[in-house]
Structure 1
Amino acid sequence: MPRRLLTDAGLALALLLMTLGPWLASYLMTDQKKAQSLIPVGYAWWVLAGLIMAGLLLRRQSPLLALALAGAGVFGHLISQTKFQLLDLAALPLMMYTVAAGARRRRTAVIVLAALMSLTYVSMLINRVQVDEETLRAEKDAKAAKEGQVIERTVIGSTRPAQAPHWWVDPVVDTSQAALEMWLLLVAAYAVGDGMRSRRAHLAAVEQRTADLAREERQRAALAVAAERTRITRELHDVVAHGMSVMVVQAQGAAAALDRHPERTATALQHVIETGRSSLAEMRRLLAANRTVPAELAPLPGIAAVPALVDQLRSAGMRIELHIDGVPEVVPAAVDLSAYRIVQEALTNTLKHAGPAATAQVTLCFEPERLRVEVLDDGPGPGGGAAGPGPDGPGAGGADGHGSGLRGIAERVTMLGGVLETGQRPGGGFRLGALLPVTG
């Protein structure tokens, strides 16, 4: 702010010195009387010049107040003098530029432009009328002194009727020609200021748009991170729930066979080790997504891994029937992984809640436009089966479908645009069915 104020002060002082330059040069090089005739040096002129300089100093802080001060000074000069001074010729267009560049609406600047042009013309017309009256009065005084009062009356009486119809034409035309210079400067200042205002508005809009895009990008990144965390959490739940359930069942079998069938204990413990290593490897694969160091990772499981999953659970003592209808075809990666996870979660719930005597049935039906996945068990009625309440909380796999396991399955199916059906079977047990689209 102080630097701008000093700049405006220097500009006002430079305009004043350039305006007074011819008078100062004439004052130093010629006689004082001739110098005084070049510019008005009365107190009124200096007061009006002070108003103009005050307007130049305030044009950045308060454009409208500065315009009023500078306009009062310029119009006062135009009324009292016959031609533009450099201070007047530069101050008024500069004020017009400042108002046009800082106005919030273009209409405001247009109104100010029209007012300045009108006031400029009126001020110059008043000066012209005053000059004409003074000239006419001087001519009348000269004639009266030379020819006498009688001749003056005769001359005036004979000439006035001829001049009356046309006395206003010359002042109006001459004033219009004289004001044209100021009008052109005002219009040019308005055009430049309006262009600057438009440019600033455009830059502000671009900056706002850039800020909005940056904010949207940050929001999209945050949503992507949240979605990725949700996906990793869901995958970890499936891996940990399945692996731990199988390991617990196999460990229980090993403990039961330790006294009577020691040879079976070693086999069960070997299954526990293999299941634990497989689960740890899959957990490392999921958690390695946030690491910068690449690791040796296994591929994501899919429908082709369902038979191996069934064999693994059979080795833990589960009775599982696997049926595959139709010809397996290439399906999208998301459908491939989701189908495997759905079977894995359903069998894990059966292992945990259906009881040791339950039998599960897994059906994969390949159709032209969809894949049907169905998991049935014949465990106890409500409170048991593939979706009975368990460690996940009340109804973790229950028929109400509010457990973490079924919530994860429902999220997968919804994301793929499929249909999920869960509930108790009429004869006992639980049914889980999912229709996954494989096209589109």
Structure 2
Amino acid sequence: MSRIAPRHLLTDAALALAMLVVTLTPGLLSAALNPHKPGDPTPFLTAAGVTAASGWWLFSGLVLAGLVLRRQWPVPALSLVAAGTVGHLAIQTKFQLLDLALPLALYTVAATARRRRAALVVLALTMTLTYLGMLAGRVSIQDQQNAAMAAKQAQLKALAGKDPGAKIVSPTSAISVDILVDTSQSVLEMWLLSVAAFAIGDGIRSRRAHLAAVEQRNADLAREERQRAALAVAAERTRITRELHDVVAHGMSVMVVQAQGAQAALERHPDRAADALRHVIDVGRSSLAEMRRLLAAGRADADDAARLTPLPGIGAVPSLVDDLRLAGMPIDLMIEGVPDAVPAAVDLSSYRIVQEALTNTLKHAGPGARARVLLDFHPDRVRVEVADDGRGAAAGEDGHGNGLRGIAERVAMLGGDLETGRGDDGSGFRLTATLPLSADLVKP
């Protein structure tokens, strides 16, 4: 992290100060109880465990700086702490309370590392440096002891007169097996603390990563759920729009034709005009009831009558044809095959296809056009064919082509086939829809 949090910075500074005080307090108390020469701080510092001539304070400053900055910059902070700890070991060949900052820095690195392998490399490098630092201190002390012993022996020989001109020869430094073993035993405690701190930090990192993955997965699932809900709402709106288009287009077309007939027969044939107006009223009421059912389908407070109104199906096609015949359109209805159990989606879609196709014929085929409706039942499919002998291609247009587009969507949704074009003799318009009677159909 590169962003400094004041609260964390103050907490780590207080921790560093507390560790420094705990490190110095035992030695300072011991030195204060022992007499020393006034004005000379060297004996006092030596009794406190701090050598005035050494770089103890420099290395301690590195440890304290790393401890303060461990949350903001974990790896640089570990470098400072490791350098200070290795310096302490090289000077005094033992760990102090202040050096406990090293396991704490390792914990921070393990808890914030992005890659576990990189953190393990840092741990191994830190353990190696601490071992080498203590080994260097032990070798240095051994060299000093050997040099002092050689000087003492030379002095004793000179005093005995055996070799007045004897020179002091310092022994060559050598790393013995005893030093290696002793160093390993001395550093083992810090190693165990470092590994334990690293394991705790790595466990916390793994837990954070797991929680982050769980939260991300929950967020993804919630987003997918919202998307599915939005798609379902959009699909339902599309379905309602398609149904409303079929209902309104058919109802309005029939009402317009009947109203025109009533207007034409108003003066000469009042009885026919009255019949046409009654038919207009019936068609209007039927269309309004079906529109009310569609709009109230998803409402909790919908009228029971509107929600329980049965959907039209293939069985309502003869009634539809009769209504259009009353409007003045000549229609031939033919049924081939034996009607069997038809899925609800195919049942409704077949009716809507006939309704939309006849509505287009009524609006666009022209006066005097004759229509033909064929319902062909097979064990595995239903074929719906609507043809007319009117003006042809214009029969398939209704402003923006919503009629044929809605039919195509229904057929595609049910996995069927749709064919449109001119009749067999090159005139008029013909629409043929083949709908499979499979069991896994999507509901409309």
TM normalised by structure 2 equals 0.88
Match of residue 415, structure 1, among 405, 413, 416? 413
The answer to whether 1:318 aligns with 2:329 is yes
The amino acid across from 2:237 in the alignment is: R
The answer to whether 1:363 aligns with 2:380 is no
Report the Cα distance in structure 1 between the residues aligned to 2:162 and 2:197, rounded to whole angstroms: 54
Q: Which moved more, 1:283-292 or 1:71-80?
A: 283-292
The answer to whether 1:13 aligns with 2:17 is yes
Identity %: 64
Cross-structure match for 1:261: 269
Match of residue 280, structure 1, among 273, 279, 288? 288
Q: Could you list the runs of 5+ residues in structure 2 that have no partner in the other structure?
A: 37-42, 440-444
Report the Cα distance in structure 1 between the residues aligned to 2:189 and 2:310, rounded to whole angstroms: 83
Go from structure 1 to structure 2 and tell me whether the alpha carbon gap of 1:38 and 1:248 turns closer, same or farther (over 3 Å shift): same
Shift of 1:166: 7.9
Deviations 1:31-77 (A, max 9, x none): 46688435124262222212111110000111122112111211111
The answer to whether 1:103 aligns with 2:113 is yes
Cross-structure match for 1:75: 86
- Does the aligned pair in 2 maintain the 1:99–1:109 contact within 8 Å? yes
Report the Cα distance in structure 2 between the residues aligned to 1:97 and 1:227, rounded to whole angstroms: 54
Deviations 1:294-344 (A, max 9, x none): 212122211121121112112212222222222222222211111010000
- Does the aligned pair in 1 maintain the 2:46–2:52 contact within 8 Å? no
- Provide the secondary structure at the position in 2 that maps to 1:435: strand
Go from structure 1 to structure 2 and tell me whether the alpha carbon gap of 1:357 and 1:166 turns closer, same or farther (over 3 Å shift): closer
- Provide the secondary structure at the position in 2 that maps to 1:259: coil
Cross-structure match for 1:39: 49
Report the Cα distance in structure 1 between the residues aligned to 2:84 and 2:218, rounded to whole angstroms: 45
- Does the aligned pair in 2 maintain the 1:310–1:320 contact within 8 Å? yes
Go from structure 1 to structure 2 and tell me whether the alpha carbon gap of 1:214 and 1:50 turns closer, same or farther (over 3 Å shift): same
Match of residue 311, structure 2, among 275, 292, 300? 300
The amino acid across from 1:138 in the alignment is: A
Q: Calculate the aligned-residue CA RMSD, in Å.
A: 2.6
Match of residue 406, structure 1, among 390, 394, 404? 404
Shift of 1:412: 0.3
Q: Within 5 A, what are the aligned runs for 1:144-223?
A: 144-148=154-158, 168-223=176-231
Report the Cα distance in structure 2 between the residues aligned to 1:31 and 1:242, rounded to whole angstroms: 115
Report the Cα distance in structure 2 between the residues aligned to 1:81 and 1:270, rounded to whole angstroms: 113
Q: Could you list the runs of 5+ residues in structure 1 that have no partner in the other structure?
A: 397-402
TM normalised by structure 1 equals 0.89
Shift of 1:79: 0.4
The answer to whether 1:433 aligns with 2:432 is yes
Go from structure 1 to structure 2 and tell me whether the alpha carbon gap of 1:262 and 1:186 turns closer, same or farther (over 3 Å shift): same
The answer to whether 1:337 aligns with 2:335 is no
Shift of 1:24: 3.2
- Provide the secondary structure at the position in 1 that maps to 2:297: helix
Cross-structure match for 1:139: 149
- Does the aligned pair in 1 maintain the 2:62–2:84 contact within 8 Å? yes
Cross-structure match for 2:75: 64
Go from structure 1 to structure 2 and tell me whether the alpha carbon gap of 1:156 and 1:188 turns closer, same or farther (over 3 Å shift): farther
Cross-structure match for 1:400: none
- Does the aligned pair in 2 maintain the 1:371–1:437 contact within 8 Å? yes
- Does the aligned pair in 2 maintain the 1:26–1:35 contact within 8 Å? no
Shift of 1:230: 1.3
Report the Cα distance in structure 1 between the residues aligned to 2:223 and 2:51, rounded to whole angstroms: 62
Report the Cα distance in structure 2 between the residues aligned to 1:166 and 1:65, rounded to whole angstroms: 34
The amino acid across from 1:322 in the alignment is: L
Report the Cα distance in structure 2 between the residues aligned to 1:65 and 1:151, rounded to whole angstroms: 59
Report the Cα distance in structure 1 between the residues aligned to 2:114 and 2:396, rounded to whole angstroms: 68
The amino acid across from 1:213 in the alignment is: L
The amino acid across from 2:17 in the alignment is: L
Shift of 1:429: 2.1
- Provide the secondary structure at the position in 2 that maps to 1:172: helix
The amino acid across from 2:96 in the alignment is: Q
Shift of 1:273: 0.5
Deviations 1:3-45 (A, max 9, x none): 2112211211221122123213324555466884351242622
- Does the aligned pair in 2 maintain the 1:305–1:340 contact within 8 Å? yes
The amino acid across from 1:95 in the alignment is: A
Q: How many residues are aligned here? A: 423
Cross-structure match for 1:354: 365
